[in-house]
């Protein structure tokens, strides 16, 4: 008999609690109830669920769903799938059969089962995060680079362009510094507080030869151009007094060629030789040598970033031990870590980092750099445990950035909703609410440039052209309008709205290093700064934006709108990114009218709308 496979069956929706309960990911130790709801007239008599338990050797089980009653003109077939102590992904499909053997079935759905004992601190996802690229945020004096790792130069003018041309060997070495410092950040804490910032996320601050410091020379030492460990502790203490927490960037997948561990150029005189200097070095097994000392594994083949050996017991102890890197910097004042290239770290290492952080500070948070859906990510042919509990408490939400910028640049609001709803169903609630949500980072084009150019494609333009290029007045006005709409949704959405330094000041720029220019103190875009200040105040004072449940209103065409609800208080975020006025249908039958290219944040109480913020 014929079996028809349905992509979107009317009788089962995994996001509908009438069909699947609980909503979304489920904790281990519980059961998930599945209910199929076909029309009575279709005469189905049998229902079955087939489940493949991926993390249990691919075991397949079948569950019959007996008929359990009627609801109007619909049959109900229902049963509970017991999860036991399983943690991992379950892939399931559903089938309905008639007496004559004809059948319809679904495609495959994902069920995420996470550790039911996991408890994640809520503080990160509730407030605004501000990402700081330390060398380019604020300097108080022009530093002298003499004696510092890497053969550095320092720009005398804060307004100069970063070096982007290759040197005589054809390399872009990133050895030009501007001299931003930790005391400079401390001086700007009142400014950051005015933006509503509650978490300071620092790109790497440990000693490193390159201005981005994504290859550490010494994890135990603050880069001398940034200051000292005492400067860091003072910064953390001052931030804590203002209600801010501090998150560090942990780059453990690789170190620098110029480091006390590898010491590829011999610039670290020490009684302890580096792995490149001696095969008897205590750091020798921290790295992979195909042929010592000149052939070794490095990140993406970049010779200046030798890859670490995660199987080395001494390396792991150095990172996660009682006096290791993770715990010692939490002890010094930090509150959490963001893990660079988390996919490159084995799950066992991420788990050890997570355990070390929690052992030092029970409310410490671990955020992973993951560019895709972290619930089903495969890296190096291994399905990752990122958000299953005991690993990452949240991840960088690049899927949100893609969906949101796609919408702002002409996409359908329904696509944004579908992408975010899929992610919400796949993630444990704590992971969804602890996402690091951003429109731009140090690895992407400046958001104004993207929204003004309409694409991240640079075409055949030269680096000289991209360095000199600025948006036209018309492009910039359009980009600013789009940015206001996108940031309104970002600040109203679950997860921490994360602001890349200078986006609030109207900075422009293509790829690295043009997206890493020095902050334009005294030349900020005052209108954008005022807007982000208002958004920050809303996020810090309106509890539904911090912790409230999410429910979708109207997302179609050029509109996106949703509701955040907490303890009876309801807030609506609504955006019309189109060139014509649009109406948003409300659940009570009324409509909210939005002019072209406009957005609003409103309180909805007893059928009355009170405008709190508008673009």
> Dihedral (C-alpha) 429, 433, 434, 436: value to the nearest 10 degrees?
130
* Separation CA 571–CA 609 (nearest Å): 9
Tens digit of each residue's pLDDT (9 = 90 or more) over 149-171: 999 999 999 999 999 999 888 88
The H helix count followed by the E strand count for the chain is: 15, 34
What pLDDT score does 2 carry?
A: 80
Residue 4 confidence class, pLDDT cut points 50, 70, 90: confident
Q: What are phi and psi of 370, to 5 degrees?
A: -135, 130
* Separation CA 530–CA 194 (nearest Å): 10
What pLDDT score does 361 carry?
A: 98
Is residue 388 scored above 90 in pLDDT? yes
Cβ proximity of 11 and 36 under 8 Å: yes
**DSSP symbol at 526:** H
Is residue 359 scored above 90 in pLDDT? yes
Is residue 458 scored above 80 in pLDDT? no
What pLDDT score does 67 carry?
A: 98
Tell if the pTM clears 0.95, that is, is over it: yes
* Separation CA 382–CA 384 (nearest Å): 6
Residue 459 confidence class, pLDDT cut points 50, 70, 90: confident
Helix, coil or strand: residue 100: coil
Residues forming beta bridges with residue 59, ordered by sequence position: 53
Average pLDDT, the chain: 96
Which tokens go with 366?
């671990």
Angle at 495 between CA 247 and CA 351, to 5 degrees: 55
Helix, coil or strand: residue 13: coil
What pLDDT score does 18 carry?
A: 97
Task: Give the chain's domains with CATH numbers.
Answer: 3-114 (2.60.40.10), 254-307 (no CATH)
What pLDDT score does 589 carry?
A: 87
Residue 475 confidence class, pLDDT cut points 50, 70, 90: very high
Query: Residue holding tokens 């690229």?
Result: 133
DSSP for 261-309 reads TT-TTS-S--SS--TTT-TT-TTGGGB-EEETTTEE-BGGG-TTSBBB-
What pLDDT score does 68 carry?
A: 98
What pLDDT score does 456 carry?
A: 80
Angstrom distances, CA of residue 518 to CA of 153, 265, 521, 563: 15, 30, 9, 38
Is residue 1 scored above 80 in pLDDT? no
Is residue 304 scored above 80 in pLDDT? yes
Which tokens go with 401?
């950035």
* Separation CA 349–CA 380 (nearest Å): 15
Is residue 7 scored above 90 in pLDDT? no
Tens digit of each residue's pLDDT (9 = 90 or more) over 578-591: 999 999 999 888 89
Residues forming beta bridges with residue 255, ordered by sequence position: 216
Query: Residue holding tokens 């609690």?
Result: 17
- 237-263: average pLDDT: 97
Cβ proximity of 543 and 550 under 8 Å: no
- 37-51: average pLDDT: 97
Is residue 398 scored above 70 in pLDDT? yes
Tens digit of each residue's pLDDT (9 = 90 or more) over 85-110: 999 999 999 999 999 999 999 999 99
Share of the chain above pLDDT 70, in %: 100
């Amino acid at each position: 008999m014929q079996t028809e496979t349905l992509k979107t069956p009317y009788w089962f929706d995994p996001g509908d609690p009438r069909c699947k309960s609980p909503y979304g990911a489920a904790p281990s130790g519980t059961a998930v109830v599945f209910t199929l709801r076909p029309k009575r007239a279709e005469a189905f008599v049998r229902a079955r669920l087939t489940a493949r338990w991926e993390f249990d050797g691919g075991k397949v089980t079948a569950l019959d769903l007996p008929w359990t009653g009627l609801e109007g003109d619909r049959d109900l077939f229902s049963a509970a799938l017991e999860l036991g102590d399983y943690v991992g992904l379950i892939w399931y499909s559903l089938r309905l059969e008639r007496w004559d053997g004809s059948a319809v079935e679904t495609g495959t759905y994902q069920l995420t089962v996470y550790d039911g004992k996991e408890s994640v601190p809520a503080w990160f996802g509730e407030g605004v995060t501000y990402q700081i690229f330390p060398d380019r945020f604020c300097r108080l004096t022009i530093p002298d680079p003499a004696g510092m790792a890497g053969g550095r130069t320092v720009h005398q003018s804060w307004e100069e362009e970063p070096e982007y041309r290759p040197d005589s060997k054809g390399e872009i070495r990133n050895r030009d510094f501007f001299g931003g410092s930790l005391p400079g950040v401390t001086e700007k804490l009142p400014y950051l507080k005015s933006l509503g910032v509650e978490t300071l996320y620092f790109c790497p601050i440990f000693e490193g030869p390159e201005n981005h410091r994504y290859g550490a020379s010494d994890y135990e030492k603050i880069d001398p151009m940034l200051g000292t460990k005492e400067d860091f502790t003072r910064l953390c203490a001052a931030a804590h007094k203002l209600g801010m927490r501090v998150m560090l960037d942990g780059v453990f997948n690789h170190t620098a060629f110029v480091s006390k561990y590898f010491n590829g150029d011999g610039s670290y005189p020490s009684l302890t030789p580096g792995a490149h200097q001696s095969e008897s070095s205590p750091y020798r097994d921290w790295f992979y040598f195909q042929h010592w000392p000149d052939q070794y594994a490095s990140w993406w083949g970049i010779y200046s970033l030798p890859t670490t050996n995660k199987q080395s017991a001494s390396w792991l102890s150095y990172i996660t031990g009682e006096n290791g890197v993770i715990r010692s910097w939490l002890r010094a004042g930090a509150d959490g870590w963001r893990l660079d290239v988390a996919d490159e770290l084995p799950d066992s290492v991420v788990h050890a980092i997570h355990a070390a952080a929690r052992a030092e500070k029970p409310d410490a948070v671990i955020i992973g750099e993951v560019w895709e859906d972290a619930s089903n990510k495969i890296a190096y042919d291994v399905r990752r445990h990122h958000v299953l509990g005991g690993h990452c408490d949240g991840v960088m939400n690049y899927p949100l950035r893609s969906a949101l910028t796609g919408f702002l640049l002409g996409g359908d609001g329904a696509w944004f909703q579908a992408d975010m709803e899929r992610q919400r169903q796949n993630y444990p609630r704590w992971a969804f609410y602890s996402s690091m949500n951003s429109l731009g980072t140090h690895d992407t084009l400046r958001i104004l440039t993207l929204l003004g150019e309409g694409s991240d494609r640079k075409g055949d333009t030269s680096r000289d052209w991209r360095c000199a290029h600025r948006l036209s007045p018309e492009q910039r006005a359009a980009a600013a309008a789009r940015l206001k709409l996108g940031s309104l949704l970002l600040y109203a959405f679950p997860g921490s709205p994360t602001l890349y330094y200078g986006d609030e000041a109207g900075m422009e720029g293509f790829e690295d290093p043009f997206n890493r220019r020095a902050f334009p103190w005294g030349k900020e875009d005052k209108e954008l700064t005022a807007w982000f200040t208002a958004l920050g105040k809303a996020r810090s004072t309106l509890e539904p934006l911090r912790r409230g449940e999410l429910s979708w209103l109207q997302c179609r065409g050029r509109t996106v709108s949703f509701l955040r609800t907490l303890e009876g208080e309801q807030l609506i975020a609504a955006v019309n990114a189109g060139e014509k006025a649009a109406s948003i249908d409300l659940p009570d039958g009324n409509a909210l009218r939005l002019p072209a290219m406009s957005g609003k944040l409103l309180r909805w109480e007893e059928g009355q709308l009170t405008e709190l913020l508008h673009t």
